[in-house]
């Protein structure tokens, strides 16, 4: 087991880090891009993991020179995702860390997902009972790579940012952790990169 005893808290990203849901989100983005006639780049979309849905819509507009309403695109993506009826599954390695440090370190989740989706996924997997702080895209002004999400988790946990370690699966999330002055451990394809 990783030695995280030098920290006071662990902050987990959710999608792609604790819960294996990135595939269904990317599929929903593919459906959304097809609906709006935008090219779909799977690698690019994976790289945006953790970025709030309306912000991704803005980035797609910039990338393809379109002017679709970010709110409408976000609503369409949510509808596409719900139509997939994806049942969230835990990512074993990361959840083993969560379980091992249960009661030893404070724990929270900082995600680019909307609050309703995050609460639903965490409840379905039982993770909701193992954390004491949740910050979602609904709770922040600036999503990842801005540090606001992770800084709010630290604040809710009552610890300083420097005393937190973040588990993340995307470059955007890593940048957010570094900007928050937190150490970051990457999770790639369900495997901890430490």
User: How far is the C-alpha of 52 from the C-alpha of 37, rounded, in Å?
Assistant: 21
In a shared domain, residues 112 and 149: yes
pTM here is 0.79
Q: Do residue 116 and residue 183 come from a single domain?
A: yes
- In a domain? residue 2: no
> How far are the Cα atoms of 27, 80, 89 from residue 187, in angstroms, in the given order?
20, 26, 15
Q: Where residue 36 sits, what CATH number does that domain have?
A: 1.10.150
- The residues annotated with a catalytic role in the active site are 13
State the residue range of the domain holding 33.
22-83
Given 58, 83, 108, which residue is the final one in a domain?
Answer: 83
**CB contact at 8 A, 113 and 121:** yes
Residues 16 and 31 in one domain: no
Residue 4 domain flag: no
Q: Are residues 103 and 133 in the same domain?
A: yes
pLDDT, tens digit, for every residue of 41-70?
988 888 887 677 888 999 999 999 999 999
Domain annotation covers residue 31:
yes
Give residue-wise pLDDT tens across range 98-125: 999 999 999 999 998 889 889 989 998 9
- Residues of the chain predicted below pLDDT 70: 50
Domain count within the chain: 2
**Residue at a domain's end among 63, 83, 103:** 83
Residue 110 has what pLDDT?
Answer: 97
Asked if residue 54 and residue 136 are part of one domain, the reply reads: no
Structure tokens at 12: 């987990």
């Amino acid at each position: 087991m990783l030695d995280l005893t030098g920290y006071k808290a662990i902050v987990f990203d959710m999608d792609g880090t604790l819960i294996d849901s990135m595939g269904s989100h990317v599929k929903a983005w593919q459906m959304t891009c097809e609906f709006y006639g935008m090219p779909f780049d799977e690698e690019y979309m994976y790289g945006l993991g953790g970025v709030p849905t309306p912000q991704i819509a803005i980035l797609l507009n910039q990338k393809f020179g379109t002017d679709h309403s970010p709110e409408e695109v976000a609503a369409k993506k949510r509808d596409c995702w719900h139509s997939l009826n994806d049942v969230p599954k835990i990512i074993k390695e990361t959840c083993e860390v969560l379980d091992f440090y249960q009661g030893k370190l404070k724990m929270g989740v900082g995600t680019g997902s909307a609050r309703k989706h995050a609460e639903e996924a965490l409840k379905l997997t039982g993770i909701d009972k193992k954390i004491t702080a949740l910050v979602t895209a609904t709770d922040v002004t600036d999503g990842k790579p801005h540090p606001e999400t992770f800084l709010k988790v630290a604040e809710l946990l009552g610890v300083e940012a420097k005393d937190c370690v973040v588990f993340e699966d995307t470059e955007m999330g890593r940048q957010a952790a570094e900007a928050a002055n937190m150490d970051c451990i990457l999770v790639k394809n369900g495997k901890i990169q430490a």
